[in-house]
């Protein structure tokens, strides 16, 4: 499937011309050194490679081109060629990805080399990216917890201040004139005056009759007062 002859309707002569052109390109084009290393696709987990190809094609083409994705996957899934030639893949994909093909193939082949070295067939790059994603998610959770605790502390402080202000207002009620326990700053607690204590007239203490007898010796001799004796 990697050969240009996979197109339907081509004759043997056309297949030969395509093959000759491909051979010329293989001789004239420059390829990265990692293309010299072979990849056994039987050791690669293609289920994790396909999403990467889809994402990369969208970045290069601008939309999800299923034709390009299926063609690239077909080149990797060819049971007749479990060790595909990256140089031929690049030549065959150039018609779709044009000048972006070398960068695409270089990144793809590096991932495939990593995948065949992994027991799970997963590229090491994917594993590291997943770890970084998990660390970032954990850091985000930690920040969320810290923010929640900070808000809780602020709420506690506000509630304490509100309770303190409410208690101060409650203690201030009931003070002033007429309240219980009123004390005069000028003389301490005083009994209330009814208002009739010393307003003219005779006090109760002097209005009572004298109950002792009056004798001549009750007054001195020099007194000018004359007392009539019985």
DSSP symbols for 104-161: HHHHHHHHHHHHHHSTTS--HHHHHHHHHHHHHHHHHHHHHHHHHHHHHHHHHHHHHH
Kindly report the number of other CB atoms within 10 A of residue 141's CB atom. 10
3-state helix, strand, coil in the chain (%, to 5): 60, 0, 35
Tokens of 173: 């009620």
| pLDDT at site 130 | 86
- C-alpha span between 172 and 175 (Å, rounded): 6
H-helix or E-strand spanning residue 20: helix 12-28
| pLDDT at site 141 | 76
Residue 191 is given by DSSP the state: P
Asked if 4 contacts 19 with a C-beta cutoff of 8 angstroms, the reply is yes
pTM for this model (two decimals): 0.53
Asked if 104 contacts 93 with a C-beta cutoff of 8 angstroms, the reply is yes
- 189 phi/psi in degrees, rounded to 5: -70, 130
| pLDDT at site 26 | 82
Quickly tell me which residue has 């002859």 as its tokens: 5
Burial class of residue 92, CB neighbours in 10 A (0-12, 13-18, 19+) = buried
Query: For residue 81, what are the CA distances in angstroms to 76, 149, 159?
Result: 8, 59, 74
Tokens of 207: 């209005």
Tokens of 51: 């999403």
Longest dimension (CA), the chain: 180
Nearby residues of 37 by Cβ (< 8 Å), 6 or more positions away: 113
| pLDDT at site 101 | 94
From first to last of its 230 residues, the chain has per-residue pLDDT tens of: 444 444 444 444 445 555 777 788 888 888 999 999 999 999 999 999 999 999 999 999 899 899 999 999 999 998 888 999 999 999 999 989 999 999 999 999 999 999 999 999 999 999 998 889 888 888 877 778 888 888 888 888 888 888 888 766 666 555 555 545 444 455 445 555 555 445 554 444 444 555 555 555 544 554 444 444 44
| pLDDT at site 223 | 45
């Amino acid at each position: 499937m990697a050969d240009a002859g996979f197109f339907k309707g081509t004759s043997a002569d056309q297949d030969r011309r395509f093959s000759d052109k491909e051979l010329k390109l293989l001789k004239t084009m420059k390829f990265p050194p990692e293309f010299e290393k072979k990849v056994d696709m039987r050791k690669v987990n293609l289920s994790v490679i396909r999403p990467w190809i889809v994402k990369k094609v969208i970045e290069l083409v601008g939309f999800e081109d299923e034709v390009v994705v299926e063609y690239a996957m077909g080149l990797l899934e060819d049971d007749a060629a479990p060790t595909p030639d990256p140089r031929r893949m690049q030549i065959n994909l150039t018609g779709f990805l044009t000048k972006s093909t070398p960068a695409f193939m270089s990144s793809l082949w590096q991932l495939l080399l990593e995948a065949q070295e992994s027991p799970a067939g997963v590229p090491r790059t994917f594993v590291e990216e997943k770890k970084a994603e998990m660390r970032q998610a954990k850091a985000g959770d930690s920040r969320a917890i810290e923010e929640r605790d900070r808000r809780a502390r602020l709420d506690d402080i506000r509630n304490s201040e509100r309770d303190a202000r409410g208690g101060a207002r409650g203690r201030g009620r009931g003070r002033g004139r007429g309240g219980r326990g009123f004390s005069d700053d000028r003389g301490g607690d005083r009994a209330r005056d009814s208002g009739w204590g010393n307003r003219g007239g005779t006090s109760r203490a002097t209005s009572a009759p004298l109950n002792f007898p009056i004798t001549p010796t009750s007054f001195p001799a020099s007194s000018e007062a004359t007392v009539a004796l019985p």
